[in-house]
Every structure is written in structure tokens, then in C-alpha cells.
A and B are shown apart, each in its own frame.
Chain A
Amino acid sequence: MPSTPASPMAPPRSFLWSRRIFLTLLTGFVLVPVYVMLSSSLKPLADVTGKFRWLPSGLTFRPYIDIWSTVPLAKYFMNSLIVAGAATICSVVIAVFAAYAVSRYSFRGKRVFTVTVLSTQMFPGILFLLPLFLLYVNIGNATGIALFGSRGGLILTYLTFSLPFSIWMLIGYFDSVPRDLDEAALVDGCGPLGALFRVVVPAAIPGIVAVAVYAFMTAWGEVLFASVMTNDTTRTLAVGLQGYSTLNDVYWNQIMAASLVVSVPVVAGFLLLQRYLVAGLTAGAVK
């Protein structure tokens, strides 16, 4: 990403000093929980039940083995992966279609559509949690399609969570793709969908990647709906992780190890793709 120097002059010394202090403090604030997570996951149980210690009394990888048997973590992992993966793919495809329509066509109701979709972001989740739960149960009773308690229901729910932001960001991104390009494709005999997939989508890949990252993170981290809408077989990590605190013992070293394991896929993906996210925001949402 190109950097834009704030000033062509050398910044004054006081600025450099305040920057050093500010960024050091901020780094500490950000890093302490990360350090606690990492170091505690390598501690024996005695270290995390007694007084807190900065350094482990001895390093052990035991928690990383035990996490898989204390609770069925692999199953929760699989469920989260299926739910978040499917929600991401569907959300991105649907958002691409919708954003293309808004960006390239003028039609009646365009403004109503964008305002309505975006304003759903404002709703408190708690407002439609229970009605949605009842709706899914009713649909299940009427048609036999099991939405409540199933992965399908959760996928459907999660993909709409990321949809408004995805559409919004992609509209901005598609607007920045020159129209001459898809018009050339139309002249060459592509249909509107051909123009979309052969010209607009390839030109907007950074924006689409950014939207996919956002959609995956949203689905992977959601707690409220996961805690109401899943059962033993469809439980996701968000709920499953609470299983490490039994009444008598809280296996903090295992909780930290499990937290680290479930964080790695998203954090790694996010850090690898964050430049796209910044570029996507710069070109789309923030413009």
C-alpha cells in the first residue's frame, strides 16, 4: 500500500517523541492479552490455578492435546468451518449480484432497497432473535425444512449479517471500475452477466476478498444466535468453548490453548489479506 507522508518537512522532535511513547503504550495494551493467551496455553494446570505468573514454571504442550478430548472441539471446529464457510460464499455471491445491479442500473426502488438493507444493520440483534427462532420453528413445522437447530438455519442467519456491509462496500468498489470496460464486453457480445463475471468481478477482486474476510469473521465470531439456535450436534465454537469451565475446575490453560487454536485461522487469514481490506475500504466505503 502506498504511504502518504503527512508532511514534506521532517516532523518536529516533539512529535517523534510523543509518537514513540503513544505507540509503545498502545503496543503494550494490545499485546498483553495476546501474551497471556499464548503463555498460559503452555503452562501446567498448577500455574493457572495459583497466583498469576508472567513466566511458566515449565513449558508443556499437554493443554494442546487435552483440548480435543475435554470437549468435542474437533466437531465444533468442523461445524464452525462449515457454517462460516458456506455463509461467506453465499454472502459474497449474493452481494456481488446486488451491488452490480445498484452500481450499473437505474431502476425504480433502488434507493428504497439500499436504505432498507443498510438500516437493518441498526437493528438490535435481540429484537429479532426470538421472532426468528419462532419463524424457523414454524417453517420447520409447516414444510419439514429444519432451520432451527440446523447448520442451514445458522448459515442463512449469518449470511444476512454480513450482507448489508458487503453490498455497501461492493457498490463503491464497482463504481470505481470504469464503465467503458463492461460496455466493451457488451459490444463484444457478452451478456450483462458475462460482463459482470469476465470484467467487473476480476477488476474488483480486492474488494471482493475484503468482503469475504469480513463475512467469514462475522460468522466465525457470532455468539448470541449460536447460543440459541444450535443443539449438541450443530454447536459451533462460540458456544462450545464454554464447555471447558466445569463446576469444580476451570482449565484455564486448556481454555487459552483452545482460544488460540480457534483464533489462528481467522487472524492468519485477516493479517494476510488486511491490505485488501484497507484498499477495499479506501476505494469503496470511505470514498
Chain B
Amino acid sequence: MTATALEEPVRKTSPGAAREPRRRPGRLRRIGLPYLLLLPALLLELLVHLVPMVIGIVMSFKELTQFYIRDWGTAPWSGLDNYKVSVDFDAPVGEALLHSFFVTVGFTLLSVALCWLIGTAAAIYMQDTFRGRGFLRALFLVPYALPVYAAVITWVFMFQHDNGLVNHVLHDQLHLTDKPSFWLIGDNSFYALLTVSVWKGWPFAFLIVMAGLQNIPRELYEAAALDGAGMLQQIRRITLPSLRPVNQVLILVLFLWTFNDFNTPYVLFGKSAPAAADLISVHIYQASFVTWNFGTGSAMSVLLLLFLLVVTGVYLLLTSRGRRTADA
């Protein structure tokens, strides 16, 4: 999450935030202490995230097949070969990667839009107190609280061709289809994946927007009501603009999580996803572990990371600039 970029300037201006630590005996100890406090977090991030990332980048320049896996340092260098294979869109490997990329982009945009829309609508609808509000709020958080595999396995059961709930309702009870459909193979699998992803993801948007709404001062609404603004106008002129900073981070986080999601498609489809729902994480996993070609898999991962870096950078640039002009 790159939210610090937004948090930092705010913090610097807040009173006392940049205050010097209290004068204590022992200059070395005073300077060393913050680093000492950070050390465990730093070491672990290095071990689990940063060092492996560097290894991953190195691996992407190597011809790393199963023969070299025991001692990967000895694998021969292959220059840009892995990248050439990955982006040669006329050959099967590159073509499949490009297809998977487009599927992932489409899926992510739809899923994030739906999650945000449902979450925001629910949070705004539940801003006033009414009977059963606390109960509903707890209920709505259940999909988010359930372990991914438990929730997704239940959806797998519901999407079964012969004994699933979805076909029973659509075909047997509502007679909407001529014959029971397949949901976990073929083109329908995209919609199955989207449904599960939205079901699982919208409560997070709900949670964040709900927390964001609490920080909007009540006086704003009162002033607007005195000026004769109706409900919809209040939502448009006060609620949504006040949520802007929250939304900026929320949408980015939803985007990154959904784009990188492995757990949902993996539990839903198993090791090989149908082409219509071939998300990039599972695609790369398969390219690495099924074909045992880790060099190409690493190259694909690096390309994915570069894409996400560019998207995040452009997104933050665009949304932050829009915000500044809006403030001026």
C-alpha cells in the first residue's frame, strides 16, 4: 500500500508530529533507539520480501529448468530470452500470457467497480440508525471474515452442474435456461469468478467507507439541510467529496488485491483455470510449477510487477493532482 505518500505531508504539518525526542542522557542510545525498534520489522521484510524479490529478478535472466533447481546459482545465464518468450505474442506462450493479462484486467476492473459501488451504497444507506442496523452490519462482514477456502469451497458446491444450487434455481425453479449450465468450465467461469470475488470483496469496501463516514463532521450536514439541500444533494455535495481521500486509497488497495488474487481462482478452479477465467497469478503459477520452467515464470512475474508499479504511479499522480486542483 502506497498510502504513505499521502499520509506523510499531512503528518508533517500536524502540530508536534515532527517534534524531537526528549533529551535523554546518552546520545548514541537516543539516536540508535528508533533504528533498534525498527530492526525486527526491517529484517523480516528483507528476508521474506526484498531478498526474494531480488532473487526473482536474477532468476528471470537465467535458464532455470528442473535440472538446475537443486542448485539454482549454477543455472546458465540466458540474457533476455525469458522476456522474449513471455512477450512474443505470436507464439503460444506469449499469446496465452497476453490473453490471461486481458482477462485479469477486465475481471479486476469489474470486480473493483462492483465492490466499491455495493460497499459505498451499503455504508451510506446504513449511516442513519434504524432497527437491526447493528445486526446487519455484523452480517455483512461475514463474507470478509470467512477464511477464503471455506467460502470459496461453498461456492464451488453451489456452482456444481448436477447437484448445485445455482443450476437448481436457474433451471429447475425459474426455468431460465434450456439445460443446466456448466459454471466452473467454459465461458461462464468468468461470471462465476466475478460473483465470488464481489461476494468476498465488497465488505472490505463497506468497512473502510463506513469508517470514513464517521469522520465527516455532522455540522456539514446540518448546514446543508438549512440551505435546503435534499438527501441526494447532501450525498453528492458532502458525503462523496469528503470520502475522496479514503476512496483514493481504497480503490488502489482493492485493485492491487484483486489483480494479484491467487486464493479465490485457485480454490474455485483448482490448478488449471478455464481460459475465460485464467487470472494472471494462477497462470504464472502454472507456467512455473506445471512446466517446471521457473526462469520464464520469474520473467512473467517481473513484468507483472512493472505493470503494477506503472499503474500505481500513474494512478497516484492523476488522483493526487485532481485533488490538489479541487482544493485550490
Instruction: List residues of chain A with CB under 8 Å of any chain B CB.
Output: 1-9, 11-12, 15, 19, 22-23, 26-27, 29-34, 36-37, 40, 48-53, 94-95, 97-98, 100-102, 104-107, 110-111, 113-132, 134-135, 156-157, 159-160, 163-165, 167-168, 171-172, 175, 179, 183, 186, 192, 217, 220-224, 227-228, 237-238, 241, 252, 255-256, 259-260, 262-263, 266-267, 270-271, 274, 277-278, 281-282, 285-287
One of A32, A101, A168, A223 near B1 (C-beta < 8 A):
A168
* Majority DSSP secondary structure for residues of B touching A: helix
In the bound complex, residues from chain A placing their C-beta under 8 Å from that of B157 are: 36, 40, 48, 252, 255-256
One of B168, B199, B259 near A30 (C-beta < 8 A):
B199
Whether, in the assembled complex, B109 has its beta carbon less than 8 Å from a beta carbon of chain A, the answer is no
Within 260-294 of B, Cβ neighbours of A (below 8 Å) are at: 260, 262-263, 266-267, 280-281, 284-285, 288-289, 294
B residues contacting the other copy or chain, number (CB 8 A)? 123
Indicate the member of A36, A156, A223 with the most B CB atoms within 10 Å: A223
Question: What is the count of residue pairs linking A and B with beta-carbon distances less than 8 angstroms?
Answer: 333
Which partner residue on chain A sits nearest B16 by CB separation? A179
B3 lies within 8 A of A118 (CB): yes
In the bound complex, residues from chain A placing their C-beta under 8 Å from that of B17 are: 175
B256 lies within 8 A of A3 (CB): no
Do A29 and B262 contact each other (CB < 8 Å), given the known contacts A5-B218, A106-B18, A107-B35? no
In the bound complex, residues from chain A placing their C-beta under 8 Å from that of B194 are: none
Q: How far is the CA of A160 from the CA of B52 in the complex (A)?
A: 13
In the bound complex, residues from chain B placing their C-beta under 8 Å from that of A270 are: 141, 144-145
Whether, in the assembled complex, B88 has its beta carbon less than 8 Å from a beta carbon of chain A, the answer is no
One of A107, A165, A282 near B34 (C-beta < 8 A):
A107
Q: In the complex, how many angstroms separate the beta carbon of B246 from the nearest chain A beta carbon?
A: 5
In the bound complex, residues from chain B placing their C-beta under 8 Å from that of A15 are: 231
In the bound complex, residues from chain A placing their C-beta under 8 Å from that of B211 are: 278, 281-282, 285-286
Which partner residue on chain A sits nearest B41 by CB separation? A98
One of B52, B140, B147 near A220 (C-beta < 8 A):
B147
A19 lies within 8 A of B125 (CB): yes
In the bound complex, residues from chain A placing their C-beta under 8 Å from that of B128 are: 3, 5-7, 11
Q: How far is the CA of A123 from the CA of B50 in the complex (A)?
A: 10
Which partner residue on chain B sits nearest A80 by CB separation? B147
Given A131-B51, A237-B149, 18 more pairs with CB closer than 8 A: A6-B221, A15-B231, A31-B139, A33-B154, A36-B165, A51-B162, A101-B33, A101-B34, A118-B1, A127-B301, A131-B53, A132-B52, A160-B44, A179-B16, A192-B21, A220-B147, A266-B145, A286-B211
Q: How far is the CA of A53 from the CA of B169 in the complex (A)?
A: 10
One of B18, B210, B294 near A130 (C-beta < 8 A):
B294
In the bound complex, residues from chain B placing their C-beta under 8 Å from that of A95 are: 41
B158 lies within 8 A of A128 (CB): no
Q: How far is the CA of A12 from the CA of B234 in the complex (A)?
A: 13
Which partner residue on chain A sits nearest B284 by CB separation? A126
* Minimum-distance CB pairs A-B, first 10: A131-B52, A131-B55, A128-B52, A270-B145, A101-B37, A259-B150, A127-B301, A281-B211, A52-B168, A105-B34
A117 lies within 8 A of B45 (CB): yes
Q: How far is the CA of A51 from the CA of B167 in the complex (A)?
A: 9
A125 lies within 8 A of B260 (CB): yes
In the bound complex, residues from chain B placing their C-beta under 8 Å from that of A117 are: 41, 45
A130 lies within 8 A of B297 (CB): yes
In the bound complex, residues from chain B placing their C-beta under 8 Å from that of A129 are: 285
In the bound complex, residues from chain A placing their C-beta under 8 Å from that of B52 are: 127-128, 131-132, 135
Which partner residue on chain A sits nearest B19 by CB separation? A179
